Amino acid sequence: MTAAPRRIPVGDELDALMRLYGYRFTRTGGVAGAAATSAAEDVRLVESAGWPIRTPEHLTSVEIFERSIAAVSTLDEFAEAWSGGPRSDVTPPLSGWRGGVDESRAEWLLGV
């Protein structure tokens, strides 16, 4: 098993990953489906950056949970940095996660 990097792809990496998995950015900045490609240069680019292409990852439920918490925290930080402020579009069930997970909540959740 090859674990995917724990970072958000940007630039050429993101563009190549989207093409390989069949997505594209629209003119308005949204994401739409597209024909997936297997272009050698895209595969080389993303594999050299550490992204496993079409390789399943077999994770335990604890690993999935820990990665979910890390992803929410990272995306919140990324969104705040990009927008210049805290997110206001978070739905009520996730609103408590807006600033990430504090240590006491993480310990409690991992103990469940």
- Flag whether pLDDT at 13 surpasses 50: yes
pLDDT digits (tens, 9 = 90+) for 26-58: 888 888 999 999 999 999 999 998 888 888 888
- Flag whether pLDDT at 5 surpasses 60: yes
Domain boundaries, the chain: 1-56, 61-111
- Flag whether pLDDT at 77 surpasses 70: no
At residue 67, the pLDDT reads 82
Mean pLDDT of the chain: 75
At residue 43, the pLDDT reads 92
SS (H, E, C) the chain: CCCCCCCCCCHHHHHHHHHHHCEEECCCCCEEECCCCCCHHHHHHHHHCCCCCCCCCCCCHHHHHHHHHHHHHHHHHHHHHHHCCCCCCCCHHHHHHCCCCCHHHHHHHHHC
Residue with tokens 């335990």: 60
Which alpha helices (DSSP H) does 2-60 contain, by range? 11-21, 40-48
